Amino acid sequence: MNTVNIIEIIRKCKIFNELSEQEILTIAKLGRIEHFRAGETVYKQGSLGTNLYVLSEGQVHLERKTDIGKTRKANVTVFILREQPDRRLMGCWGELVGKRHVHMCSAICDKPTSVVSIPWADLKEVTMDNPILRLKILEKLILLLRDRIDSSYGAFDTI
């Protein structure tokens, strides 16, 4: 896919959807499309995050290995990301605020899946050179995290 396709995909992601054409183009030039088959892993729990991913097509479940008791472990699906009109952001947003990010879960494809992959180091460099762009992205990141926290609290309320 070319830059035009990447622009279409990342513009649908809430963290980027209000950026100017030039800002979107700058970010799109950093990205590339990656394709995965059903059962393939985009990233593994415990691995160091180096890329931001935007789901383009397909479905991914986020799975966390956890202890259940002293000697048993379980794999728990914590979230399912599906293709929808507003594309989902996944993976290592913490790099943008200067913290090394270790993935808290694994991202496993449930069916053939495509993602836009943007190296965090490149995105961070671009945003450090453009403080207005950085501020726009960080503001959207705060709102995204707020929504995810609200969603988590809502899940607790139903238990």
Give the pLDDT band of residue 156 (cuts 50, 70, 90).
Answer: low
Tell which CATH classification among 2.60.120.10, 3.40.50.740, 3.30.930.10, 3.30.530.20 matches the domain 3-157.
2.60.120.10
* Maximal C-alpha separation, the chain: 54
What pLDDT, on the 0 to 100 scale, is given for residue 94? 63
Using CA atoms, how far apart are residues 53 and 41, in angstroms rounded to an integer? 13
Q: How many CA atoms does the CB half-sphere of 131 hold within 13 Å?
A: 0
DSSP state of 102: B
Q: What is the pLDDT of residues 88-127, one digit of tens each?
A: 777 766 666 667 778 888 999 999 999 999 998 898 899 8
Residue type, 48: L
9 has a pLDDT exceeding 70:
yes
What pLDDT, on the 0 to 100 scale, is given for residue 68? 78
Provide the edge-to-edge strand list for the sheet that holds 51-57: 32-36, 113-119, 51-57, 89-90
Q: Torsions phi, psi of 99, nearest 5? A: -110, 135
What pLDDT, on the 0 to 100 scale, is given for residue 142? 85
Residue 141 CB-density burial (10 A; 0-12 exposed, 13-18 middle, 19+ buried):
middle
Closest CA to 53 of 136, 118, 109: 118
13 has a pLDDT exceeding 80:
yes
The domain ranges of the chain are 3-157
Q: What is the 3-state secondary structure (H, E, C) of 126-138?
A: HHHHCHHHHHHHH
Q: What is the pLDDT of residues 42-99, one digit of tens each?
A: 999 998 888 999 999 999 999 988 877 777 788 888 778 888 777 677 776 666 666 7
DSSP state of 36: E
What pLDDT, on the 0 to 100 scale, is given for residue 103? 86
Among positive and negative, which fits the CA dihedral 47, 53, 56, 61? positive
Question: What percentage of the chain exceeds 90 in pLDDT?
Answer: 42
Using CA atoms, how far apart are residues 135 and 128, in angstroms rounded to an integer? 10
